[in-house]
Amino acid sequence: MTPNRTLAPDIKDAVEFDVQLKPYHSYTLDNGTTVYSIDAGAEEVVMVELVFFAGNWHEQKNIVAATTNHLLKNGTNKKDAFAINEHFEFHGAYLSRSCFNETATITLHCLNKHLGKLLPVVTELLTDAIFPESELGIYKQNQKQRLEVNLKKCDFVANRLIDEYVYGFNHPYGKYTSANDFNELQQQDLIDFYKQYYTNGKCLVFVAGKLLPDTEALLNKELGQLPFNQNEVVLQPILQVPAIDKKYSITNDADGVQTAIRIARPFPNRHHPDFSKVQILNNLFGGFFGSRLMSNIREEKGYTYGIHSFIQNHLHNTAWLISTEAGRDVADATITEVYKEMEILRNETIDAEELDLVRNYMIGSLLGDLDGPFQIIARWKNYILNNVTAEYFYNSLATVRNVSAEELQALAVKYLNPDEFYELKVV
């Protein structure tokens, strides 16, 4: 039926849409590795992401996990770094690595027809990486130079310190690097970590895109024969030791004209019954461009280009964080306004129109986040690593649609108390 272009389409609020999370298909390779798969999309592309439990939580020496992950593709016994990169580029593919607190990833994006030519090289990197001394030396030099530059930036220093205050320096979420950490890094540290947490490590595989019929067999041929999952990876508990003092003011650059402001408090993770409702309160408070913090501190006062509030995405206990940079002369006034907005949320019921705006923003954003197979599998990966199911997704949707202004006010009374927040200014 040809649409009538003279008539405007019906306008629907995002909350009226029936949002569905496409389920994944899972199967197990010969070596016990679980694969989570989404077959969708119109383009002839595929993404294969290998998730290893090889984050900095598992390292015995600072920055070993991140360095091992970065140098995985910098040489094997058969290929040097140039040959490895050239192979992926020749096939129009991109191989990336990332290291997080508990996990580390290797991610391949390519045309689906080239997957069979690229997976064997990925396998080679996982079984035969040698971490050449020359590559390690270049990496250490570059990282020390980058660190030296970054330490002059107030926002970089503030991001390091606020995590230390909330979690403690010896906690994986709170520790940070120094130049001496790079000086002490040895090739053997990387080799030992690589063998334990990659070659013989715990691995999950996430696959998404327009999958060819032989994808499962191909993954089993190349990845299912590796010695993954032979040893149980135990996440040793590490005590969170927050700082005693709550307020800090640091002069990093005596001539600096901008102040980095971080205000944060410890907060439970997504398994806590308040988490989904607090996400709504957070968005209203400072989670999007139309939030109260943005309207007040950016639009009305002009103290900053942007201010944001968010809950860190950690698998364990996390933090609620407000982050901004403001002029040095208005830093204290900015902090005052943050606390003022907390007070208003504690004392006044949220207007129905504002709450509807936030509901529509959150569900509209969710629709965008589920636009395509790569985005869908990314959400599933987050859920699987956090040990939650599709029920969590639909319960969260119901919470967004149904939470009341009174419930949000009660949560503001419970959590938005200035005395419970760490406050940091770095000039």
User: Residue 135 is part of a domain; what is its CATH number?
Assistant: 3.30.830.10
Asked if residue 12 has pLDDT above 80, the reply is no
User: Domain limits at 359?
Assistant: 247-426
With contact defined as beta carbons under 8 Å apart, do 46 and 211 qualify? yes
341: helix, strand or coil: helix
Confidence of residue 389 (pLDDT cuts 50, 70, 90): very high
- Is 290 found in the same domain as 395? yes
- Is 210 found in the same domain as 124? yes
pLDDT of residue 151: 96
pLDDT of residue 414: 98
Phi-psi group of 229: left, alpha or beta (phi > 0 → left; psi -120 to 50 → alpha; rest → beta): left
Confidence of residue 233 (pLDDT cuts 50, 70, 90): confident
- Is 270 found in the same domain as 184? no
Is 213 domain-assigned?
yes
> How many other C-beta atoms can be found within 10 angstroms of the C-beta atom of residue 86?
12
Asked if residue 126 has pLDDT above 90, the reply is yes
- Is 215 found in the same domain as 333? no
Highest mean pLDDT among 11-15, 228-232, 325-329: 325-329
Condensed to tens digits (0 to 9), the pLDDT of residues 53-88 reads: 999 999 999 999 999 999 999 999 999 999 999 999
Q: Which residues contact 389 (CB under 8 A, 6 or more apart)?
A: 383
Asked if residue 4 has pLDDT above 90, the reply is no
pLDDT of residue 17: 81
* Mean pLDDT of the 173-187 span: 96
Is 311 domain-assigned?
yes
Confidence of residue 238 (pLDDT cuts 50, 70, 90): confident
Answer with the residue of higher pLDDT: 6 or 95. Answer: 95
Phi-psi group of 361: left, alpha or beta (phi > 0 → left; psi -120 to 50 → alpha; rest → beta): alpha
Average pLDDT over the chain reads 95
- Is 265 found in the same domain as 175? no
* Cα–Cα distance, 329 to 258 (Å, whole number): 8
- Is 360 found in the same domain as 217? no
pLDDT of residue 16: 77
Last residue of a domain, one of 174, 205, 222: 222
* Mean pLDDT of the 290-304 span: 96
Is 7 domain-assigned?
no
* Mean pLDDT of the 344-354 span: 97
- Is 393 found in the same domain as 253? yes
Q: Which pair of structure tokens corresponds to residue 357?
A: 């705006």
Let me know if 284 is exposed, middle or buried by CB neighbors in 10 A (0-12, 13-18, 19+): buried
- Is 214 found in the same domain as 255? no
- Is 201 found in the same domain as 278? no
- C-alpha dihedral (150, 151, 155, 161), degrees to nearest 10: 130
- Is 278 found in the same domain as 217? no
Confidence of residue 25 (pLDDT cuts 50, 70, 90): very high
Is 232 domain-assigned?
no
Confidence of residue 13 (pLDDT cuts 50, 70, 90): confident
With contact defined as beta carbons under 8 Å apart, do 237 and 77 qualify? no
- Is 179 found in the same domain as 301? no
Name which of 130, 111, 73, 106 is nearest 223 in CA terms: 106
Asked if residue 182 has pLDDT above 80, the reply is yes
Q: What is the 3-state secondary structure (H, E, C) of 188-206?
A: HHHHHHHHHHHHCCCEEEE
pLDDT of residue 232: 74
Confidence of residue 125 (pLDDT cuts 50, 70, 90): very high
Asked if residue 388 has pLDDT above 90, the reply is yes
What count of Cα atoms within 13 Å lies in the side-chain half-sphere of residue 86?
A: 6
- Is 271 found in the same domain as 399? yes
Is 16 domain-assigned?
no
* Mean pLDDT of the 152-156 span: 96
pLDDT of residue 236: 78
* Mean pLDDT of the 407-414 span: 98
pLDDT of residue 113: 97
pLDDT of residue 201: 95
* Cα–Cα distance, 158 to 263 (Å, whole number): 10
Q: Which residues contact 334 (CB under 8 A, 6 or more apart)?
A: 261, 297, 301, 303, 304, 307, 324, 326
* Mean pLDDT of the 232-252 span: 88
pLDDT of residue 61: 95
Residue with tokens 């407000």: 322
Q: In the chain, how many domains are there?
A: 2
Last residue of a domain, one of 174, 206, 222: 222
Last residue of a domain, one of 207, 222, 237: 222
Is 359 domain-assigned?
yes
Asked if residue 9 has pLDDT above 80, the reply is no
With contact defined as beta carbons under 8 Å apart, do 35 and 216 qualify? yes
Phi and psi at 301, nearest 5°, equal: -90, -30
pLDDT of residue 26: 98
Among 209-213, 275-279, 312-316, 376-380, the range scoring the smallest mean pLDDT is 312-316
